[in-house]
């Protein structure tokens, strides 16, 4: 029987890890209970909690194609377009339930990409990466692990290839080959959910050439393997979580995190190495991972649902909800959000089977979806701030509301509709602040811009994947420049 | 099988929800309403139960993407909206 952990079991499993985590210049003795990190753990825990709820299990769980056992969908290799569709839907659901990044999609995307690429490497070179990977996948499924899919290297001077960098560690690379495995050094930046993960799956970040073959490596490590250090990223308003009052957090329970993951001469046994110097497969690995991960931005639709809901609530609390322009702006927010949803559903629906049996999303449509995500959440956030009003950023603190001296003034002058407690108005405004410029804006806005590749990365893929010759030919046929059957 | 009051229910129903990604109504509350309104007439059991009268699939929208493969050969009824809830209750109570 596979372990299908619940939220509590997941939390306990993290306590058993010996992670080397640093934040604000100090080592974090207990990441699980640290008040700044814990909301991100709560968000990942939701992926476990909902798997045990009958009203969500159809999305959150599935059957392993390897063992026939019930597993969490985050450990699954997509076996059909239905699986791809349910992945998109699961992302929206979890974004909606947490109002933030729940961090677990990236490991699923790494595993699905590796299930395709390891198979293809083996076909070309007669290696045994796919067999290794499948054994690793069984281990992940059996233990219901969170995997951090780690792709983004620090990259140093962007004009130079990995082997040309003055500091060779700016891209993860092999520093020693041993009989029993390899030793690697380098770092992965912006690693979402790294400290909440049981495993880290490392992949190359760009196309590698022959000169870069020492950088063309993919492998998996336990997250507490010797030599790994995590340095937590700061988030706007992060220390509000240690102020002791809940209102100013905006989102009471959930959040995300990113960390710099440093690999300092870390040993990787051969059975965890899934690519070793096959530089000619780096493009395929990067692009298939990117396609899956661009689909994963379905989660922003769920977060958008929360922001739209919050905006409607504040409009009602302000007594402005019946104004025609407010109604129209809410419609616009929904239009933008559901347009995002169309993209993640479309790329899943148009997915196809790869030689390994894994289903991959339509790569063009996945890039279109993610490109929309680099834009629409910003537009939705702008409308939310428009409707919320300036009070969102000028509001006194929760401590002022509780103050025996000035609390009554805060209560009196920040009241909206007379039947709504001032505290409620403050809470909903803080949630909008959280999503549009606080801790959750890391995930909802900047991650939407740069996560899974910055906008230009999608534009390059769009340029490469559209059938421009076909469009030109049909245009010429329709206007009589060329003769031919434009329906063919 | 007897219900909490010791009487056999008229309907023994396997319950299956969709995943609820963008439910248009509160699915769990809808099932609670059915349970309250039908009282002893109905007993909800796991959808795995093979001797139930039918499987009631409660979906949040008309797409109904829920996986019903494991119910093959068994009668399935769907609730996809609030209207379906009322229709189901009316049919079950006969009024």
The pLDDT score that the predictor gives to residue A488 is 56
Write out chain B residues lying below 8 Å of A81, CB-based: none
**3-state SS class at A228:** strand
Query: So what's the pLDDT on residue B45?
Result: 95
Min Cα distance A216 → chain B (Å) is 38
| Angstrom distance (rounded) from CA A125 to CA A123 | 6
Q: Between chains, do A56 and B20 touch, taking CB under 8 Å as contact?
A: yes
Exposure string over A1-35, b if 16+ CB within 10 A, otherwise e: ebebbbbeebbebbeebebebebeeeebeebbebe
Query: Which A residues in the span 57-76 are in contact with B, Cβ-Cβ below 8 Å?
Result: 57-60
Q: Which chain A residue lies closest to B46 (C-alpha atoms)?
A: A54
Confidence of residue B95 (pLDDT cuts 50, 70, 90): low
d(CA A31, CA B5): 49
Instruction: Establish whether A258 is a catalytic residue.
Output: yes
Query: What is the rounded CA–CA span in Å between residue A110 and residue B45?
Result: 38
Which pLDDT score is estimated for A2? 60
**Per-residue pLDDT band at A222 (split at 50, 70, 90):** very high
pLDDT at B93: 84
The answer to whether residue B92 scores a pLDDT higher than 90 is no
| Residue numbers in A near B17 (CB within 8 A) | 54-58
Q: Is the pLDDT of residue A1 over 50?
A: no
Report the pLDDT averaged over residues A393-399: 97
Domains for chain A: give ranges and CATH numbers: 294-474 (1.20.140.10)
Q: Please tell me the predicted confidence (pLDDT) of residue A227.
A: 98
Share of chain A above pLDDT 90, in %: 98
Burial of A278 (0-12, 13-18, 19+ CB in 10 A): buried
Distances (CA, A) of A314 to A190, A238, A390, A434, B18: 33, 24, 12, 14, 31
Indicate the burial class of A463 (C-beta count within 10 angstroms; 0-12, 13-18, 19 or more).
exposed
* A447 flagged as catalytic: yes
- Average pLDDT of the segment spanning A18-41: 97
For residue A292, the model assigns a pLDDT of: 98
User: Residue A14: is its pLDDT beyond 50?
Assistant: yes
Confidence of residue A139 (pLDDT cuts 50, 70, 90): very high
Give the residue from A49, A54, A72, A92 with the most B CB atoms within 10 Å of its CB, the best one to mutate.
A54
Q: What is the pLDDT of residues A31-64, one digit of tens each?
A: 999 999 999 999 999 999 999 999 999 999 999 9
Helix, strand or coil, per DSSP, at residue A264:
strand
Determine whether the interchain pair A86/B19 forms a contact, defined as Cβ–Cβ distance below 8 Å. yes
Residue A487 has a pLDDT of 62
pLDDT one-digit tens code per residue, B20-73? 998 999 999 999 999 999 999 999 999 988 889 999 999 999 999 999 999 988
Min distance B6 CA to chain A CA atoms (Å): 26
Could you tell me the two tokens for A332?
Answer: 């616009």
The model's confidence at residue B7, banded by pLDDT at 50, 70 and 90, is low
Q: Is the pLDDT of residue A230 over 90?
A: yes
Higher pLDDT, A484 or A332: A332
> Could you tell me the two tokens for A116?
């395709």
Q: What is the mean pLDDT of residues A330-351?
A: 98
Site of tokens 């239905």: A82
Q: What is the pTM of this model?
A: 0.94
Q: Which residues of A touch B65 (CB under 8 A)?
A: 82, 85-86, 89
Contact assignment for A59 to B28 by CB distance below 8 Å: no
A107 pLDDT higher than 60? yes
What are the strands, taking DSSP E only, across A127-171?
147-150
| pLDDT exceeds cutoff 60 at A406 | yes
pLDDT value of position A444: 97
Q: Is A342 a catalytic residue?
A: no
Residue of A nearest to B59 (CA): A55
Residue B1 predicted with pLDDT over 50 = no
Q: What's the pLDDT at A482? A: 87
Q: Is A297 a catalytic residue?
A: yes
Paired tokens of A97: 């339930």
Verify whether residue A147 is a known catalytic residue. Answer: no
Any catalytic annotation for residue A293? yes
Write the pLDDT tens digit of every residue in A162-171: 999 999 999 9
User: How far is it, in rounded angstroms, from Cα A350 to Cα A310?
Assistant: 33
Is A101 tagged catalytic?
yes
Beta bridge partners of B12: B43
Q: Do A58 and B28 touch (CB under 8 A)?
A: no
Superfamily of domain B11-93: Sugar-phosphate isomerase, RpiB/LacA/LacB (3.40.1400.10)
Closest chain B residue by Cα to residue A92: B21
| Residues in A touching B27 (Cβ below 8 Å) | 55
Number of helical (H) and strand (E) elements in chain B, helices listed first: 2, 4
- ipTM beyond cut 0.90: no
Q: How far apart are CA B88 and CA B68, in angstroms?
A: 20
Model pLDDT for residues A425-467, shown as the tens digit of each residue = 999 999 999 999 999 999 999 999 999 999 999 999 999 999 9
Q: How far is Cα A419 from Cα A399, in angstroms, rounded to an integer?
A: 23
Distance of CA A409 to the CA centre of its chain: 42
A55-104 pLDDT per residue, tens: 999 999 999 999 999 999 999 999 999 999 999 999 999 999 999 999 99
From residue B73, how far is each of A226, B58, B69 by CA, in Å?
A: 54, 18, 9
Give tens-digit pLDDT for A265-323: 999 999 999 999 999 999 999 999 999 999 999 999 999 999 999 999 999 999 999 99
Question: What's the pLDDT score for residue A477?
Answer: 93
- Count CB-CB contacts under 10 A for residue A452: 27
Residue A201: both structure tokens together: 């799956």
Q: Do A56 and B65 touch (CB under 8 A)?
A: no
């Amino acid at each position: 029987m596979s372990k299908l952990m619940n939220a509590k079991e997941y939390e306990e499993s993290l306590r058993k890890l010996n992670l080397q985590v640093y934040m604000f210049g100090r080592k974090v003795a207990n990441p699980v209970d640290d008040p700044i990190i814990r909301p991100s753990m709560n968000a990942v825990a939701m992926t476990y909690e909902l798997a045990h709820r009958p009203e969500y299990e159809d999305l959150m769980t599935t059957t392993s194609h390897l063992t026939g056992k019930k597993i969490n969908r985050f450990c699954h290799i997509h076996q059909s377009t239905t699986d791809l569709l349910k992945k998109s839907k699961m992302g929206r659901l979890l974004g909606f339930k947490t109002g933030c990044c729940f961090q677990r999609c990236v490991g699923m995307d790494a595993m699905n990409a590796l299930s395709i690429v390891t198979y293809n490497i083996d076909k070309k070179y007669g290696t045994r990466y796919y067999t290794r990977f499948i054994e690793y996948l069984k281990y992940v499924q059996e233990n219901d692990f969170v995997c951090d899919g780690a792709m983004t290297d620090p990259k140093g001077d962007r004009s130079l290839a990995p082997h040309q960098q003055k500091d060779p560690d700016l891209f993860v690379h092999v520093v020693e080959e041993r009989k029993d495995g390899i030793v690697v050094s380098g770092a992965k930046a912006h690693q979402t959910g790294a400290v909440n993960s049981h495993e880290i799956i490392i992949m190359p970040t760009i196309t590698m050439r022959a000169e870069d073959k020492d950088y063309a490596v993919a492998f998996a490590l336990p997250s507490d393997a010797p030599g790994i250090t995590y340095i937590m990223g700061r988030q706007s308003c992060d220390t509000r979580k240690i102020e002791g009052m809940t209102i100013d957090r905006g989102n009471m329970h959930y959040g995300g995190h990113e960390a710099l993951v440093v690999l300092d001469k870390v040993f990787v046994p051969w059975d965890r190495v899934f690519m070793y110097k096959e530089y000619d497969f780096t493009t395929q690995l990067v692009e298939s991972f990117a396609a899956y991960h661009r689909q994963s931005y379905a989660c922003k639709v769920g977060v958008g649902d929360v922001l739209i809901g919050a905006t409607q609530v504040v409009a009602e609390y302000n007594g402005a909800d019946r104004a025609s322009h407010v109604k129209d702006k809410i419609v616009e927010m929904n239009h933008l959000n559901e347009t995002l949803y169309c993209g993640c559903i479309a790329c899943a629906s148009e997915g196809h089977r790869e030689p390994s049996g894994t289903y991959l999303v339509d790569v063009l449509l996945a890039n279109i979806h993610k490109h929309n995500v680099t834009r629409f959440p910003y537009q939705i956030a702008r409308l939310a701030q428009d409707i919320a009003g300036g009070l969102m950023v000028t509001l006194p603190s929760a401590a002022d509301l509780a103050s025996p001296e000035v609390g009554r003034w805060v209560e009196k002058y920040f009241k909206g509709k007379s039947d709504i407690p001032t505290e409620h108005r403050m809470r909903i405004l803080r949630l909008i602040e959280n999503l549009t410029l606080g801790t959750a804006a890391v995930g909802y806005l900047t991650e939407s811009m740069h996560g899974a590749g910055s906008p230009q990365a999608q534009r390059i893929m769009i340029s490469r994947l559209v059938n421009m010759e076909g469009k030109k030919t049909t245009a010429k046929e329709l206007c009589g420049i060329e003769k031919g059957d434009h329906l063919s | 099988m007897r219900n909490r009051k010791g009487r056999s229910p008229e309907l023994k129903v396997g319950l299956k929800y969709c995943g609820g990604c963008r439910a248009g109504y509160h699915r769990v509350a809808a099932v609670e309403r059915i349970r309250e309104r039908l009282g002893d007439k109905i007993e909800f059991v796991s959808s795995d139960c093979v001797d139930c009268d039918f499987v009631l699939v409660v979906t949040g929208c008309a797409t109904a993407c829920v996986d019903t493969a494991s119910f093959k050969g068994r009668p399935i009824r769907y609730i996809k909206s609030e209207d379906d809830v009322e229709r189901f209750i009316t049919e079950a109570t006969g009024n």
